[in-house]
Chain A
Amino acid sequence: KQEVTQIPAALSVPEGENLVLNCSFTDSAIYNLQWFRQDPGKGLTSLLLIQSSQREQTSGRLNASLDKSSGRSTLYIAASQPGDSATYLCAVGSSNTGKLIFGQGTTLQVKP
């Protein structure tokens, strides 16, 4: 059974810092991995999708990496801004079941 864990649960950094959010999964037989952002009271916004054959994806100040063999993904945010404050969710697409398994998220606060 696939389990997805995100550490830390919460993170507070000063504006301008580079930071890394971590995601780990127990079953390496994944189809893809997605990172989402959720603002309070809002739906999820997809940030990056990494297919199982890929090692990383980049979008602006965001870079997501994938290491299937070790069951890990990281989301790197460069030069953080207060507007980056949100909950970041990692979701693994399972090859076996065809569904997304979500972690519990990391709540990020970027202080001005």
Chain B
Amino acid sequence: AQRVTQPEKLLSVFKGAPVELKCNYSYSGSPELFWYVQYSRQRLQLLLRHISRESIKGFTADLNKGETSFHLKKPFAQEEDSAMYYCALRNNAGNMLTFGGGTRLMVKP
């Protein structure tokens, strides 16, 4: 069975500080990993996917198959980054996603 774990429910940093939201997964095959973000009073939206290897809003995430991790990083946090972040995994058998429990990021001024 596949599983996604986000160990931190809440992460609080000061503006300008580096931020890393942790995501670990368990899956025996080759997964596809995503980060979704939900800003206050907005719908859940895709932030980035590992196969794109792109940086969105200054965020990057690298799939580490050895450590089965897909941590989300940003070198300098901004107040507008405050949101709920979800890591998700899609297996190679279909279209369903498995989500982690989510991490609330609070960026303080």
The finding on whether chains A and B are genuine partners in a shared complex, rather than unrelated, reads: no
- Chain A residues with CB under 8 Å of chain B are none
- Chain B residues with CB under 8 Å of chain A are none
